[in-house]
Amino acid sequence: MHSLSKNRVRALRGVILITAIVLCLLFLVSGISKSSVLLYPVQHRPLSDEKCLNRITAEDIHAGGRVEEWDSSRVLKGIRTKRFKDNLKNDVNFITSWTDGSLTNQFIGYVNMIYLGTLSNRISIIPPFVPERPNDIAFSVTAIPFGYVFNISRAQGAMRQPIVEWMEVKNLVDAMSTAVQPASAREPLGCWSTQPASGVNALHPVVNNLGLDVGYTRLPLDIFVQDGHAEEAVLQFGRTVGYIDPVHPIRQPSSFALMQPSFLGHRLTPDEQLTCIDNLHLATSSGNLDEWDFAWAPAWRFVGQYLHFMHNDIELAKSYLSRTFQVQASNLPAFIAVAVPKTSSLPNLHKQVALVQANLKLEKNLENAKVLVISTVEDAQFWENVRDFGWSRLDHFKEMTLEKYGHWARDVLDGVVASMAVGFIGEQHSAFAIVSARRVQEWNGGVVNLI
């Protein structure tokens, strides 16, 4: 009888787990209705996302599933709810943010947010990546969840702390949409702002995606490294923590003057359980405004380095490299990635490649590494000169990347491919180059040169 009871329990657990998996897959499929704007078509869509599977196991706690201490289910009440407040555990504090710019700029902003959350004992809730330019929205470039690009499960395990995505917290009207939502679909949230006090905070695509109605309060000037009135003021992590500490803040959020009412006209003070900051792309721990240029940058060292790309991204990048170098994907050569801005001089780049090759020989005893150019330059003569040097090209036009995989794929694949190199050359003030250099250096022990 005891054995029969055990068998029934096992069967019940199996049914629950299978049902949960089906529901998760249905959510992922139903949340994306237009294949033309997907990062991946159906056969490549990352439905086997480890985070999704771990989340299912976590929700099955009562059935005996093993849940790590850092699993996101530890900080949420359960499955997605209509209002985000209804799913946040009362004894846990959170932080969220959104950032403008390219995929890489948004990545830096979200990494800074996670790091600030670690310092202030707050769990990060990450929004999706959203279109860089307003006209992208008009051309139906949708949002894409952070976890479709980066392996959150792996990062959680390495960092030993939960990382939550917004689509885990609340039921979004459309997880991929950045369209303006009606008032009835918006949820109030008071946020901090890094913008100049005289500036008006536009209705951000992330705010639309998450169905929020946000009011802003200006962060105090003493948290900024530069003049807090500057157009692009850089905040300092340590100074900011004092104002968002969940237990003993320097001042209560309600004591600050409102900077801007919400889109619907509500006067909202900064939320105390869910600290929200409108932009964390420009932040530093040391006062150095170019902190990400260095491998010791705390946001990179304690967060960014653990955010590896999803397995599907890596496999797709390998197939591109296989065709580019005309070898089997299992036998890819060591290569130097060169990110070329439009103004670069090829003769100068040739010298920089020679320097990196010399250092690879000295440090890794590696000779004759291939050279792969990653660039948006369309000039035919430029690419003819590249071929004359004996270098290869990551050719998205030939691969029909946009047509096959959608508007986000090029940025994602460029990042993945660059991260697989043993050497990297890029422009010193380019966000893409800086982050790619960090990855090549940290993940591959590679040689980098920012010019």
Q: What pLDDT does 288 receive?
A: 86
Residue recorded with tokens 């850089």: 234
Q: What pLDDT does 229 receive?
A: 53
Q: What pLDDT does 63 receive?
A: 45
Task: Enumerate residue ranges in the chain where pLDDT < 50.
Answer: 1-6, 8-13, 15-38, 40-64
Strand extents, DSSP E, 66-201: 94-97, 123-126, 163-165, 187-193
What count of other Cβ atoms lies within 10 Å of the Cβ of residue 28? 18
C-alpha dist (Å) from residue 126 to 31, 202, 225, 288, 403? 17, 20, 25, 26, 28
Q: What is the DSSP string of 261-274?
A: --TTS---PPPSSE
> pLDDT tens across 135-150, in order?
565 556 789 999 999 9
The closest of 75, 135, 447 to 295, measured between CA atoms, is: 447
| Contact criterion met (CB below 8 Å) for 436 and 428 | no
Q: What is the DSSP string of 399-437?
A: HTHHHHH-TTHHHHHHHHHHHT-SEEEE-TT-HHHHHHH
C-alpha dist (Å) from residue 357 to 331, 338, 364, 435? 20, 12, 10, 21
Residues 303 and 430: their CA atoms lie apart, in Å, by 20
> pLDDT tens across 253-301, in order?
999 999 999 999 999 999 999 999 999 999 999 988 889 999 999 999 9
Domain boundaries, the chain: 68-306, 314-450
pTM of the model: 0.86
According to CATH, what is the number of the domain 314-450? 3.40.50.11350
